[in-house]
Structure 1
């Protein structure tokens, strides 16, 4: 692995948690291993590891973008990651209110439902 891959894996584990990353790593095979390597290096090593904004701010941006694009599974994953990034539920609501204005009320409404369900699941465990 490259230095950027190592850096990316460390950030990925810090943000998403060891349990999630361990499951993802165990599930990868020859088909998706190159994809997993790319996102670890590019998303986590090149983008999430930058020091220009905080993990909290990056988390809010990611949540807004995922909600605006309708990427529900990734949205729930990043909502769960807020326990590691420092983004509060108020932060999430603010991000989703921006989604309503800039990406559409239906996307934000759906994302808010996902957030409520995800946060309830988090409280239950």
Structure 2
């Protein structure tokens, strides 16, 4: 792959990543990046965000539901909350998320879907107390 292509994919990935996860999340992640994990972060930005999420083959809403279902089905619960928060930007509703997790229950198992639902409920409750979705508390 040429350097130009890699740079284009990285830049596209950062644009999509910011659109889906928000500037605050991406800025926090970038601030935590070290020389050790920089190549891995570049891989994620180019591959996940600059290729898969940047594709216009399906909508961000559909991609969001697929991502949540796959994370739950595979037991990769660490990123569930982040992707639940992203639904505020992708257009996936709470009903969409519930439907995705119900699908997980049938095809991948009730315990995984149940744990994903627990995490979703906690995250939605947290979001209800936030101003927007970037983790800033609602002013009182």
TM-score, with length taken from structure 2? 0.88
Partner of 1:33: 38
**Deviation of residue 17 (structure 1)?**
0.3
Q: Matches of residues 45-60 of structure 1 in structure 2 within 5 Å?
A: 45-60=50-65
Residue ranges of structure 1 left out of the alignment (5+ in a row): none
Report the secondary structure of 1:51's partner residue: coil
**Poorly superposed stretches of 4+, deviation over 2 Å:** none
Deviations 1:64-118 (A, max 9, x none): 0001111122111100100000000000000000000111000001111000000
Residue ranges of structure 2 left out of the alignment (5+ in a row): 1-5, 131-140
Higher relative contact order (CA 8 A, sep 6+): 1
1:63 equivalent to 2:84? Answer no
Q: Which has the higher helix share?
A: 1
Q: Which of the pair has more CA radius of gyration?
A: 2
**Deviation of residue 60 (structure 1)?**
0.2
Partner of 2:133: none
Aligned Cα root-mean-square deviation (Å)? 0.8
